[in-house]
Amino acid sequence: MLPEPQIARAFLGSAEALRIQPCGSGNINDTYLLTFQTPAGEEQQCILQRLNQRVFAQPNVVMHNIQAAAEHLQNTDYPLGILTPILTPDGNTLYQDAQQNHWRAFPYFAQSYAPERLPTPDEAYEAARAYGLFLKALASCPAETMQETIPYFHDPRHRWAAFEAAVERNLAGRVAQCKAEIARICEQQTTFEAIARLKETGQLPVRIAHNDTKAGNVLLSLETGKAVAVIDWDTLMPGTVLSDFGDMVRTFVPDGYEDEPGDVQVRLPALQALEEGFLEIVQEVLTLVEHQHLRLGARWIVAEQALRFLTDYLNGDIYYKIRYPEHNLVRARNQLSLLKKLPL
Count Cα atoms within 13 angstroms, Cβ side, for 299.
19
Question: What was the pLDDT predicted at 235?
Answer: 96
With a CB cutoff of 8 Å and minimum separation 6, the contacts of 79 are 133
pLDDT of residue 25: 67
Give CA–CA dist 327/309, Å, rounded.
9
Region of 225 (left: φ > 0; alpha: ψ -120 to 50; beta: rest) is: left
* Residue 16: strand, helix, or coil: strand
CB-based contact 160:153 (threshold 8 Å)? no
The pLDDT score that the predictor gives to residue 298 is 97
- Report the C-alpha gap between 211 and 208 in whole angstroms: 9
> In the chain, which residues have pLDDT < 70?
1, 25-26
For the chain, the structural domain boundaries read 5-108, 121-341
User: If you ran DSSP here, which 8-state letter would residue 24 be given?
Assistant: -
259: left (phi over 0), alpha (psi -120 to 50) or beta: alpha
- What digits encode the pLDDT tens for the residues 47-65? 999 999 988 999 999 999 9
Q: Centre a 10 Å sphere on the Cβ of residue 10 and count the other Cβ atoms it contains.
A: 22
pTM, two decimals, is 0.93
Report the distance separating Cα 341 and Cα 335, nearest Å. 10
- Its CATH class, for the domain covering 5-108, is alpha beta
Count of CB atoms situated within 10 Å of the CB of 324: 7
Q: Please write the tens of the pLDDT for every residue from 13-54.
A: 888 888 999 987 667 888 999 999 998 899 999 999 999 998
* Residues paired with residue 95 on neighbouring β-strands, in sequence order: 103
| CB neighbour list of residue 165: distance below 8 Å, 6 or more residues apart | none
The CATH architecture one would assign to domain 121-341 is Alpha-Beta Complex (3.90)
Hey, what amino acid is at 10?
A: A
Q: What is the pLDDT of residue 113?
A: 96
Q: Where are the beta strands (DSSP E) in 198-248?
A: 207-209, 218-221, 227-230, 237-239
Q: What distances in angstroms separate CA 158 from CA 163, 165, 190, 242, 317, one per listed residue?
A: 9, 11, 14, 17, 19
Instruction: From 286, 29, 269, select the one nearest 132 (Cα to Cα).
Output: 286
